[in-house]
Amino acid sequence: MSHTKRKTVFSLLIIGVVFLYLIPYMWFGLASFKSQRTLTAIPPVIFPQKPTLYSYHVAFQQKHLLLYLKNSAIVATLATLGTIALGVLAAYPLARFKIPGKNIFLLLFLAISMFPQMALAGPIWRIMRELGWLNTYQGLIFPYITLTLPLAVWILVRFFEELPQEIEEAALVDGCTPLKALWKVILPLTAPGVFTAAILVFIYTWNEFFFALLIMTYPARHTLPVGIALFPGEYIMPWGEIAAASVIATIPLIGLVLFCERYIISGLTAGAVKG
């Protein structure tokens, strides 16, 4: 097989895999514009003949979707900012100072984030209860920071290690304090790594379900994943409203990834080629 044919076959294979991957998202996107009769039609109707925004209207007006969006935005944004701020302060000295057993420490630190959520549920819930933080934003933000900090530190350490130490030394010679050099020089140069860590943390906190359900039991404090999961009634499954809410919940993530695409690509590929 010639090189051109192999390239064509490989491209078609990639297109086919991507299409299969997108089918559930396409189906839910189309379902959000269908009427209830069209949703339950047999045989199934793929494309709605008369698109309607009824499911979106119900999701916002009756299912309190806007409230869940607000809660998720507050929690995910503050948790991401807190994680990145602490992650930078923790990762920078780990990358710059010669600490015995640093790699083992980082591996153990990362392993903590791999603990099953069920194993952490009891201790975290008891701590939040003793602090009086159940059904509060901080009651969910601080556990999220704890859970995502190891990943952020792991990513940021690798970026700080790749930055030549001479740049920092030049900033110190010019009169910068270590913190000012970190803020004015190091962070701008490692922006791809910071953005990569921030986006991964934001996506995790935006989609997290278990602790949001455990800590936020008041309906007014539900985040998007919990709120959407509670859409079904005892005898009905409102697929249209669920599809509409899922589309709305996905739009911020898509917009964030598209807006920061350049930083994500450079961040994920940094260090892949050396020399």
CA pair distance 180, 90, nearest whole angstrom: 16
Residue 273 confidence (pLDDT): 44
Confidence of residue 275 (pLDDT cuts 50, 70, 90): very low
Residue 274 confidence (pLDDT): 46
Contact 197, 156 (CB under 8 A): yes
In a domain, 78, yes or no: yes
Contact 59, 244 (CB under 8 A): yes
Percent of the chain's residues with pLDDT above 70: 94
In a domain, 132, yes or no: yes
Position 195: which residue type?
A: F
In a domain, 221, yes or no: yes
Contact 151, 201 (CB under 8 A): yes
CA 148 to chain centre: 10
Confidence of residue 267 (pLDDT cuts 50, 70, 90): low
Residue 115 confidence (pLDDT): 79
In a domain, 219, yes or no: yes
Percent of the chain's residues with pLDDT above 90: 42
Strand stretches in 117-206, DSSP E: none
Average pLDDT, the chain: 86
Residue 257 has pLDDT above 50, yes or no: yes
In a domain, 82, yes or no: yes
In a domain, 88, yes or no: yes
**Cα angle 92, 93, 98; round to 5:** 130
Task: Write out the residue range of the structural domain in which residue 91 sits.
Answer: 58-269
pLDDT tens readout for residues 40-78: 888 888 888 889 999 999 999 999 999 999 999 999 999
Residue 105 has pLDDT above 70, yes or no: yes
Residue 93 confidence (pLDDT): 87
Residue 269 confidence (pLDDT): 57
Residue 68 confidence (pLDDT): 96
pLDDT tens readout for residues 184-241: 888 888 888 888 899 989 999 999 999 999 999 999 999 999 999 999 877 788 889 9
CA pair distance 186, 160, nearest whole angstrom: 8
Q: What are phi and psi of 230, to 5 degrees?
A: -95, 5
How many domains does one find in the chain?
1
For the domain that residue 245 is a member of, what is the CATH number? 1.10.3720.10
pLDDT tens readout for residues 132-161: 999 999 999 999 999 999 889 988 888 888
Give this prediction's pTM: 0.86
In a domain, 29, yes or no: no
The residue with tokens 């999220």 is 144
In a domain, 4, yes or no: no
Task: Count other C-beta atoms under 10 Å from residue 114's C-beta.
Answer: 8
- What is the DSSP code (8-state) at residue 44? P
Confidence of residue 266 (pLDDT cuts 50, 70, 90): low
